[in-house]
Amino acid sequence: MSETKHKYKFKAEIKQLLDILVHSLYTSREIFLRELISNASDALDKVRFESTKGTEIADKDLPLEIHIDFDEKKNLLTVSDTGIGMTKDELVKNIGTIAKSGTAEFLKKLAESKEDATNIIGKFGVGFYSVFMVAKEVVIKTKSFKPDEPACLWRSDGSGSFEIEVLDKKIKRGTSIEVHLKDDAKEFAEKYRLESIIKKHSNFISFPIFLGKERINTIAAIWREPKTSIKKEQYVEFYKFLTYDTEEPMFIIHKSVDAPIQFNALMFIPKKSDEFFWMDRENYGLDLYVKRVLIQHKNKDLLPEYLSFVKGVVDSEDLPLNISRETLQENTIFHKISSSVTNHVLSFLLDKAKNNPEEYTAFWKEHAKVFRLGYMDFTNLEKYQELLRFNSSFNKDENELTSLADYVSRMKEGQKEIYYVLGSSRAAIETDPHLEIFKKKGVEVLYLYDPTEELVLSSIRKYKDYDFKSVDTADLKKLEELGDKTEEKEKTEELSKDDRKHFSSLLSKMKKILGDRVKDVVESKRLSDSPACLVNTDDTISASMRKLLKLANQDAGKQEQILEINPDHKLVRNLIEIFKKNPDDDYIVNVTEQLYGSALLLEGMLEDPHLLVAKMNELLEKSSDWYLKQKDTSQ
């Protein structure tokens, strides 16, 4: 080997990726061409960007084009561009040695679902390698836009290594990729096959694509055309081109704004959340154009992160063409555009919520997880709040949703707070003793199933004049004032004066049994069906949240709790009788421990179930004795 020639090994992850691509993917192999054309288009965008900045560029007057040539006899396909090219270092770095952040994740996904792989290849920045699905050898010749850099050649059969050679020969700026097709991939050297693939996947590429001598794609900045002249299919085609999604978008948002600042925005909300791509934080944002020239792919500042499910492009006449990505941030026009774009998206959603609640519900179910993170957007807080949805006790099942406005419209007279409870499911929430008084009073409670929902409520703190309040910290006096929903069914007989005294002493006894574990043991006014429950004294954070923090190994501090006892419950009435006979009966100790343990369990705060279960078994044993005796006497 001459000293200008070097052999390199593919990075392990890339080798693994190549193995999968080559050996197990046979469907939609055609997308390799989409990936090569998209790289060519990126390279052309980059060189145009450099030239608008005034950088010195090799072969300055070359037209910005993509050429696709084919030779059926030689089984050869060549994709060339007059783009930015690569230096030797860039070639080593970009193709073969550095695996992008998402590669490992992509490999996992790829192993799980071979079908979808071709749709996600492009999203992970590993598109180039898809060429090895059809190639037995690939040769890249490239010349950087930097005038002094020599041209280079890259060659590989995709098995384990590649080699790079510095060329003596002068070639023009840009990159050409020779694809030596496998025997079973001859179709990709046929004109009609190529033409249909380009039309299908690359029609919206904004540089001319030539197949042989013929220009194939029709360039149209569809976002700049009047809405009325665009058919739904064109929108859908553009959306699929932009996102690689195979489905139609859920919503299309097309806006042309002339004053005070001119811009066009064409945005889409996908049917499916690609939350999976979330770990790849690079993979969101709108494409920013200035006068039809792409300035930045996936700009992250046009929309706030909580709207990152929105895909699309924004194009403005009012920004300077030579603006750099770095100075965008400080540009006031850019800021105005971005706040206007954000506003349009939120208004669009508000309009959907109002006029087409079913479609809005579908949107919410898919994208709420990301959208909820918008609680920090103080400028748009009002709109954000109106867009929030929750499940609530008013809803028939967990699929129905309630807005905060709906909740408020159903509030009881005099109600000043919006109540919520966090739980793992609707069924679990509905057995929560804290809800008994709410049911009795007919006061609606928001049911939260995701800790971020509580995070949202505790961050925004109030809706209109109403504070959010967790049911386990709700102030009973305020609830008492609201009046009962229905006449009470059969009221349990009032405790006699004498029994009241005993009940009082029983509560003190229970406090003594539980010691420092509870702050106090008191009579409950909130319970109707359960004998006991724990109430939190600190209302900054709910018990469920505390539990979650604990699971995440974050200590939220020790919570002071009060054990409430329902004097009307049959069990408690019996306890009073037992207490009257012998205040020191062991049975009372047992039951007290048991009630406390069960209440902790319901809060999800029980640290060790062993004691609870042991005591429960003891009680079961006693009750079985009693049961047997009863049976014997009745027979």
Which positions lie near ligand ADP, rule CB under 6 A?
A: 35, 39-40, 42-43, 81, 83-86, 94-95, 125-128, 175
* Ramachandran angles phi, psi of 612, nearest 5°: -60, -45
Helix axes 586-603, 570-581, angle to 10 degrees: 150
Helix (H, G, I), strand (E, B) or coil at 348: helix
Cβ proximity to Mg ion, 39 vs 80, nearer residue: 39
User: In whole angstroms, how close is the CB of 176 to Mg ion at the nearest point?
Assistant: 16
Cβ proximity to ligand ADP, 53 vs 365, nearer residue: 53
Helix (H, G, I), strand (E, B) or coil at 462: strand
Question: Is residue 259 within 8 Å of residue 310, measured between CB atoms?
Answer: no
Judged by beta carbon distances under 5 to 8 A according to partner kind, the member of ligand ADP, Mg ion, none in contact with residue 81 is: ligand ADP
Binders in 444-483 for Mg ion, by CB under 5 A: none
For residue 357, what is the DSSP state? H
Judged by beta carbon distances under 5 to 8 A according to partner kind, the member of Mg ion, ligand ADP, none in contact with residue 40 is: ligand ADP
Helix (H, G, I), strand (E, B) or coil at 580: helix
According to DSSP, the β-strands at 391-392 and 152-156 are: unpaired
Query: CB nearest Mg ion: which residue?
Result: 127
User: In whole angstroms, how close is the CB of 122 to ligand ADP at the nearest point?
Assistant: 7
| DSSP E strands, 182-262 | 209-211, 214-215, 251-257
- Among 30, 32, 39, 173, indicate the residue that binds Mg ion (CB under 5 A): 39
Helix (H, G, I), strand (E, B) or coil at 529: coil
Instruction: Write down the H helix ranges in 67-190.
Output: 88-92, 103-112, 117-120
Cβ proximity to ligand ADP, 86 vs 479, nearer residue: 86
Cβ proximity to Mg ion, 127 vs 433, nearer residue: 127
Helix (H, G, I), strand (E, B) or coil at 178: strand
592 binds Mg ion (CB under 5 A): no
Question: Is residue 64 within 8 Å of residue 85, measured between CB atoms?
Answer: no
Cβ proximity to Mg ion, 31 vs 185, nearer residue: 31
118 binds Mg ion (CB under 5 A): no
User: In whole angstroms, how close is the CB of 64 to ligand ADP at the nearest point?
Assistant: 12
Tell me the C-alpha to C-alpha distance, in Å, between residue 35 and each of 75, 108, 399, 459. Answer: 20, 21, 40, 43
**Pair of tokens at residue 591:** 């039951």
Judged by beta carbon distances under 5 to 8 A according to partner kind, the member of Mg ion, ligand ADP, none in contact with residue 270 is: none
According to DSSP, the β-strands at 293-299 and 286-290 are: antiparallel
Cβ proximity to Mg ion, 10 vs 447, nearer residue: 10
Judged by beta carbon distances under 5 to 8 A according to partner kind, the member of ligand ADP, Mg ion, none in contact with residue 433 is: none
* Ramachandran angles phi, psi of 243, nearest 5°: -110, -10
Cβ proximity to ligand ADP, 128 vs 468, nearer residue: 128
Judged by beta carbon distances under 5 to 8 A according to partner kind, the member of Mg ion, ligand ADP, none in contact with residue 126 is: ligand ADP
User: In whole angstroms, how close is the CB of 26 to Mg ion at the nearest point?
Assistant: 21
Cβ proximity to ligand ADP, 125 vs 451, nearer residue: 125
Closest CA to 464 of 376, 530, 403, 541: 403
Judged by beta carbon distances under 5 to 8 A according to partner kind, the member of ligand ADP, Mg ion, none in contact with residue 43 is: ligand ADP
Q: If you compute the radius of gyration of the chain from its CA atoms, what whole number of angstroms results?
A: 34
Judged by beta carbon distances under 5 to 8 A according to partner kind, the member of ligand ADP, Mg ion, none in contact with residue 95 is: ligand ADP
127 binds Mg ion (CB under 5 A): yes
| DSSP E strands, 371-444 | 391-392, 417-422
- Residues interacting with Mg ion, by CB under 5 A? 39, 127
